[in-house]
Amino acid sequence: GNTACANNCKKSVLLEKIAPALAQTEEERKSELQEEQAALAEDEAIAEDEWSPFGTTEKCCKCKSSTVGWSASGKCSFCKGSVSTTKSVSSDCTVKSKTFKGNTACANTCKTSVLLEELAPALVQTEEERKSEMQEEQAALAEDEAIA
Q: Within a 13 Å sphere around the CA of 135, how many CA atoms are in the beta-carbon half?
A: 6
Chain centroid, CA 62 distance in Å:
6
Q: What are the distances in angstroms from CA 109 to CA 76, 84, 112?
A: 15, 18, 5
User: SS3 of 95, please?
Assistant: coil
Q: What are the distances in angstroms from CA 77 to CA 10, 69, 136?
A: 45, 10, 51
Q: How far apart are CA 84 and CA 65, in angstroms?
A: 8
pLDDT value of position 31: 65
pLDDT tens for the chain, 148 residues long, are 767 666 666 656 655 666 566 555 666 666 666 666 665 555 443 333 344 455 889 999 999 998 999 999 999 999 999 999 899 998 899 999 899 999 999 999 999 888 888 877 777 767 777 788 888 888 877 777 766 5
pLDDT value of position 53: 52
pLDDT value of position 142: 76
> Is the pTM above the cut of 0.85?
no
Instruction: Count other Cβ atoms within 10 Å, centred on residue 45.
Output: 11
